[in-house]
Amino acid sequence: MNTDQPIVGEAHEMSFIDHLEALRWHIIRSAISIVVFATIAFFNKDFLFHDLLLGPSRADFWTYRMFCRFGQWIGAPDLCMDKVGFIIQNREMSGQLTMHISTSFMVGIVLAFPYTFWEIWRFIKPGLYPHEQQNSRGAVFFVSVLFALGLMFGYYIAAPLSINFLASYTVDPTIENQIDMQSYLSTLTTMSISTAFVFELPMIVFFLAKAGLITPEIMRLYRKHAIVVILIIAAVITPPDISAQIIVTIPILILYELSINIARIVAKGRTAALNAQLAQNNGIS
């Protein structure tokens, strides 16, 4: 019997060209998903701009109404934001068309992020060991959930507070704030997307802990340094407003403490696996 013949269904090692071909199709499918979502966003202009993107520029936005109710409940009427003191305008002939296209593309990237990450994960997963694949189950789900939570936090909390602060800040009452459309949308999208990626901290720590590159002891040891870094990140993605920086800093600190517990659970699991392997080896010997 010729044992040199390949067995049907046997796994084989892919060549470099095969990997490039597989990667190309993953990228193509991801790009198609982005284009599909961007097209949907483009043809829903009224909802995209009036309801979604321009929502924080109006006093009836959900966040402002909730702050007003909270202010009435605690007896602090100053929390009510009954008006937003700026006008959004366009100064270029093709500005609104260009903004419509670029914003639709940005929304397409955001909406397609879970699928894009899934495609990337499908490309990476075959290169992992079986136990690594087992340990990484649910990665796409948790990455997508954290991304969505961070995006909503940025859109409903961080961005409105930043916009309201920048809009109400004046050096002289005679100066009227007339904000360029590009500047407004840049602030809104930067704040929202930045917090979306910052919220991925627990998953980053999870994978680093699985790889043995970080431990809960190291995270506790450098907690003070991490707080300084978190404050710097909050200062970068928020305007020079102490209240906005504190509001952004608090959830990041909570995520850091959660990440310490995640690293502790991973380290405990690694220790248990090593002890089980040691006991098995001693039993065999």
Q: What is the pLDDT of residues 37-93, one digit of tens each?
A: 999 999 999 999 999 999 998 888 888 888 888 888 887 777 777 777 788 898 888
Q: Which residues does 41 contact at the CB level (< 8 Å), separation at least 6?
A: 48, 103, 104, 107, 108, 111
CA atoms within 13 A of residue 191's CA, in its CB half-sphere? 27
Q: In degrees, to the nearest 5, what angle opens at C-alpha 52 toward C-alphas 46 and 53? A: 95
- Please give the Cα distance from 278 to 240 (Å, whole number): 55
Q: 84 or 123: whose pLDDT is higher?
A: 123
Average pLDDT over residues 159-174: 82
Q: Is 108 exposed, middle or buried (0-12, 13-18, 19+ CB in 10 A)?
A: buried
Looking at residue 8, its pLDDT comes to 38
Of 78-92, 150-164, 173-187, 197-211, where does mean pLDDT reach its minimum?
A: 78-92
Looking at residue 152, its pLDDT comes to 95
Q: In degrees, to the nearest 5, what angle opens at C-alpha 92 toward C-alphas 88 and 98? A: 90
Burial letters 30-54, b for 16+ CB under 10 A, else e: beebbeebbeebbeeeeebbeebbb
Q: Is the separation of the CB atoms in 168 and 57 below 8 Å?
A: no
Q: Would you say the pTM of this structure is higher than 0.85?
A: no
